[in-house]
Structure 1
């Protein structure tokens, strides 16, 4: 089972993701980091945050965060030989072409703009889950 790490500083968005996962019966182990620095510490097993098991990990990443934003986090992640292969799906409100291009240049597996309605968000999470389940089977 894949360990999911949501990197997002917005409590409402974190609750929305949890609700959407529950609605889609996604029961994977779920971890939350409030920014890129905290996420890196969790992935490396450093600091006070709970470490994330090193096998089967997927990161859901917001781009707009304090301390260390999403793009900066991606650069650090891709530069670390231990973490570089972890798949990342950007889950953000940013619909800027510049952000999309930069994220894909840093080898993200997908880029999802957060839908405005909860129903649309639940559908997006369901699609994401189907995609990831298929990838795990291959």
Structure 2
């Protein structure tokens, strides 16, 4: 199977919630350098993430993201609080959230709060690993789109 078949047809609007400017820059550069056809918006904290998805304040004219990449350790409102708000808001609960962890323990910590993300991915440690990481996000998105396309139109949204 060629990787072209796995590429999304439409660009994915990705919201990265990442407080570390160095990691944010690596994400942004690797999306650009990998010639991936996605839009990446980056916010540094939980308050701005919620403003972005609610399309309020300075983000009022922005599109709601297709997917959120969420660092759980954020200044101010934590990633766990952001995840909780996203998953408990009927207007936002369909947005897939990938929690970025630095270890398996990070996934367990988030889960211990009784909130489930759609997926957990370990953040790449080496700059060279970012392209593979970004491609795995695209594959996750393609799987989500394919799964929703296979559901009959009469299916109700059940959580």
Match in the other structure for 1:120: 129
Q: Give the unaligned 5+ runs of structure 2.
A: 1-10, 150-159
Between 1:74-83 and 1:22-31, the stretch displaced more is: 22-31
Give 2:82's match in structure 1, choosing from 66, 73, 80.
73
On the 8 A contact 1:42/1:51 being kept in 2, the answer is: no
Cα RMSD, aligned residues only: 2.1
TM-score by length of 1: 0.84
Alignment deviations for residues 37-67 of structure 1 (CA, whole Å, 9 cap, x no partner)? 111111111112354314x610011111101
Shift of the 50–91 alpha-carbon distance from structure 1 to 2, 3 Å rule, reads farther
Aligned positions, number: 136
Which sections of structure 1, spanning at least 5 residues, go unmatched?
none
2:42 equivalent to 1:32: yes
What TM-score does the superposition give when structure 2 sets the normalisation length? 0.74
- Indicate conservation of the 8 Å contact 1:88/1:110, yes or no: yes
Larger Rg over CA atoms: 2
Which of structure 1's runs of 4+ aligned residues deviate more than 4 A? none
